[in-house]
Amino acid sequence: MIKTSLLILGSLISVITNLDAAQLNLDTQKIAVSGLSSGGYMANQFHIAHSKWVDKVGIIAAGPYYCANNSIKEALEKCVNKSTETTNKHLFHQANNYAQSGDIDPLENIANSKVWLLRGIKDKTIAPEVNQALFTQYQNWLNEAHLKFITDQAFGHHFPTLANGTKCDVSEPPFIGNCNYDAAGEMLSYLYGSLAPRVTETTGKLQQFDQHSLGGDSAQSLAKDGFAYIPKTCQQGEMCNIHVHFHGCQQNLETIGTQYITQNGINNWADNNHLIVIYPQTKNSIFMPLNPQGCWDWWGYTDDKYATKKGQQVMAIKNIVMSFSSKIKIGE
C-alpha cells in the first residue's frame, strides 16, 4: 500500500538534489506547531520548551505537559484512556523547575501564545479528563481570550476533515475522519486570524528532505525522510511563515504513506496563505529505543530530557526548522 501511495504521488514529491535552485525566504522569528494524539503531546512539549519562539499551538486529542512523568507506566495509567491525576501540583512544579534550570523557556512567555484545543465526544482513546487537564494547565499560563477548547463535536480519535477518511465516529487507521468539519480551517483561522479561502485542489509542492542531515545527531529516532508542503508563492521567493505539524501514532510514512500529510486539509489552507507546513516523521522500532507504533516521544523512550530543549526530538525539530531557509532549495 505504501509503495502504491508513493507511486501515485510521485509527481508531487521532489527530492532535494538541485543545490542551484531557488532558496526559500522564511520568517523564523516566530513559528507555529500543531499535532494529533502523540503529535499533540509533542506539539505541547515543543511549545513549552520553546515558548519564546512558538506562539501558535493547535492540539487535537492529547493531555498536559509532562503528563507521563518520564514513565510509560504512568503514561498508560494517567494520560490515555483512564482518568488522570494530572491536574495536581506536580506537573506545574516540574515545569517550574525546568524553567528555573533553563531546560525550558520562562513560563511567562506562554501568555503571549494562542492555543486551540479539540477533543471529540466519541474519542475512546484519550479520556476526557486527560484533555481537560491540558486545558486547565493552559488556563494557568495564558489569558482565556487566547485559548479555545472545542468539546461539542461527535468525532472519534482522529483528525476531522470535510470529506476524507473513515466514518466520523470511529477511531481507526489512518486516523483521518470524514466529518463534514474542517478542523484544519478552524484551527488555522483561530491561530492566524483572517486567512484567504482554502483551495479545493492544492497547487504547491510536497518536498521530501533528509531529517538526519538537517536534524543532526539528535534526529536518530526519526525516520530518514521528512516532508514539507511548499505553496507556489513560497517557491517563488515570497516571505512565508512556518507551521510544524506532528502526526500521531501509526500515521507516519512507514505505516500509511503520505495519506495523513495530503488528506488532513492543512495544505489546502497553506496554499493561499504563505504558509510552509513541515511534517517531520518518526520511525517504527522494535528495538531500543522501543517505538513499534511510530509515536512521538512524550513519555521518555529517547531520554529523560524528552520534554525539554535538551530532548533528542525537540532538538532535532529545532535544527530542521532553522536549517530550512538556509539549506532547503526548490528545484525548477
pLDDT digits over 204-214, tens only?
999 999 999 99
Question: Side chain identity at 225, as an amino acid letter?
Answer: D
Contact 191, 56 (CB under 8 A): yes
Residue 153 DSSP code: E
Of 240, 235, 274, 280, the closest CA to residue 260 belongs to 280
C-alpha cell of residue 192: 492566524
d(CA 99, CA 70): 17
CA 301 to chain centre: 18
pTM over 0.85, yes/no: yes
| pLDDT, tens digit, 9 for 90 and up, residues 125-165 | 999 999 999 999 999 999 989 999 999 999 999 999 999 99
CA atoms within 13 A on the CB side of 277: 27
Catalytic residue list: 37, 123, 157
Backbone angles phi and psi of 159, in degrees to 5: -95, 110
pLDDT at position 81 is 82
- Cell numbers for 12, please give them: 508531487
DSSP-derived letter for residue 12 is G
In this prediction, residue 329 carries a pLDDT of 65
Residue 88 has pLDDT above 60, yes or no: no
